[in-house]
Chains A and B, each alone.
Chain A
């Protein structure tokens, strides 16, 4: 590979700004983690919101943290488009992977619940649709 060397003055300038962005990324990651833990504690104490909404917030914040680690710490944001795409496009498989498997787990649970031994097969479903008295 070719290695080009830029001037010392340029490097001095780059030194300053990239050290700054490293620490900025650190504070963002720390703030998000503190916020997550804070929310978890608030939920434990006051149970102030629906569990699914809280989980949604946690998952979104996790993705934000992942973005900052990959983009800044792993420097991917500053690579050229070819490299970014060759790494990120295969990861799109996770979208299918997650949806398919979690849905499968959920249906597995429902089948176990409905079909477990001793469970009457949906005894009341017909009744509720009919008028109470003929």
Chain B
């Protein structure tokens, strides 16, 4: 896809992209950069409020459940599983991009299908977690959890948790939808006709970004 990079190439003299990528890919990068600022703003707002609060709920107390394990105290286990699913789906996405570069249509279909499955599995996990929290009384504007120091917590904790993981989940959802559209096009032979699979790369960038954001959400809400 890239043009040959020679040592003294004049990147800014016109006639070719100074970034050595196609317009679409560059715009995807710019979109992701702006999205990074959106998520950054949300997470920094969360950090500000947390720094402002005298005390805050302990994530290991709030997030301690696992589907089918009843009241067993299992902090971090479920969210680790979710993280693993998302990293894994990122890997299958790179493999799909890679297969696209090799013009191996069968392999693109296989890896895209696994990526979609991974995304759906992650969303299912999140749906379970939200349902579980909702059943224990947590929602926007409602916080049943106590602070670490035993005092009554404000609703800041649940408001930020549902807003930020919800916004991330929305990104995962639209990523899955985009992946399904691309997979349909691959099956239809659109990219075979076009001569390249660059669209797979573009949605790939978006999908990895969703994984990247989760890395930060995981740290901010579950580890710190």
Q: Which residues of A approach B to under 8 Å, CB–CB?
A: 1-4, 11, 15, 18-19, 22-23, 25-26, 29-30, 33-34, 36-37, 40-41, 44, 55, 58-59, 62, 65-66, 69-70, 72-74, 79-80, 82-83, 86-87, 90-91, 93-94, 97-98, 101-102, 104-106, 108-109, 112-113
Q: Do the beta carbons of B51 and A33 come within 8 Å of each other?
A: no
Give the residues in chain B near A34, CB-CB below 8 Å: 80
Determine chain B's interface SS by DSSP, over half rule. helix
Q: Do the beta carbons of B95 and A22 come within 8 Å of each other?
A: yes
Which bucket holds chain B's interface residue count? 35 or more
> CA of A109 to CA of B21 in the docked complex: distance in angstroms?
47
> CA of A113 to CA of B51 in the docked complex: distance in angstroms?
13
Give the residues in chain A near B18, CB-CB below 8 Å: 82
Q: Do the beta carbons of A40 and B223 come within 8 Å of each other?
A: yes
Give the residues in chain A near B91, CB-CB below 8 Å: 22-23, 25-26, 73
Q: Do the beta carbons of A58 and B223 come within 8 Å of each other?
A: yes
Q: Do the beta carbons of B76 and A33 come within 8 Å of each other?
A: no
With A74-B209, A109-B54 as known contacts, state yes or no: A1 contacts B22, CB within 8 Å: yes
Determine chain A's interface SS by DSSP, over half rule. helix
Q: Do the beta carbons of A79 and B95 come within 8 Å of each other?
A: no
Q: How far is the CB of A17 from chain B (nearest CB, A)?
A: 11
B76-95 Cβ-contact flags toward A at 8 Å (1 or 0): 10001001100110110111
Q: Do the beta carbons of B20 and A82 come within 8 Å of each other?
A: yes
B29-54 Cβ-contact flags toward A at 8 Å (1 or 0): 10001001100110011011111111
B186 at the interface (CB under 8 A from A): no
Q: How far is the CB of B156 from chain A (nearest CB, A)?
A: 11
Q: How far is the CB of A26 from chain B (nearest CB, A)?
A: 5
Give the residues in chain B near A23, CB-CB below 8 Å: 91
With A26-B91, A30-B84, A69-B208 as known contacts, state yes or no: A2 contacts B48, CB within 8 Å: no
Q: Which 5 A-B pairs have the closest CB atoms?
A: A105-B51, A105-B48, A105-B52, A83-B19, A108-B52
Q: Do the beta carbons of B11 and A82 come within 8 Å of each other?
A: yes
Option from B37, B52, B90 in Cβ contact (under 8 Å) with A109: B52
Q: Do the beta carbons of A3 and B1 come within 8 Å of each other?
A: yes
Give the residues in chain B near A18, CB-CB below 8 Å: 98
Q: Do the beta carbons of B87 and A37 come within 8 Å of each other?
A: no
Q: How far is the CB of A101 from chain B (nearest CB, A)?
A: 5
Q: Do the beta carbons of B22 and A66 come within 8 Å of each other?
A: no
With A70-B212, A79-B20, A106-B51 as known contacts, state yes or no: A36 contacts B223, CB within 8 Å: yes
Interface centre among A41, A44, A69 (most CB of B within 10 A): A69
Q: Do the beta carbons of A73 and B211 come within 8 Å of each other?
A: yes
B196 at the interface (CB under 8 A from A): yes
Question: 18 more A-B contacts (CB under 8 A) besides A40-B75, A66-B215, A86-B19?
Answer: A1-B3, A1-B22, A4-B2, A23-B91, A26-B91, A34-B80, A36-B219, A37-B76, A55-B224, A58-B223, A66-B216, A69-B211, A69-B212, A80-B11, A82-B19, A91-B33, A105-B49, A105-B52
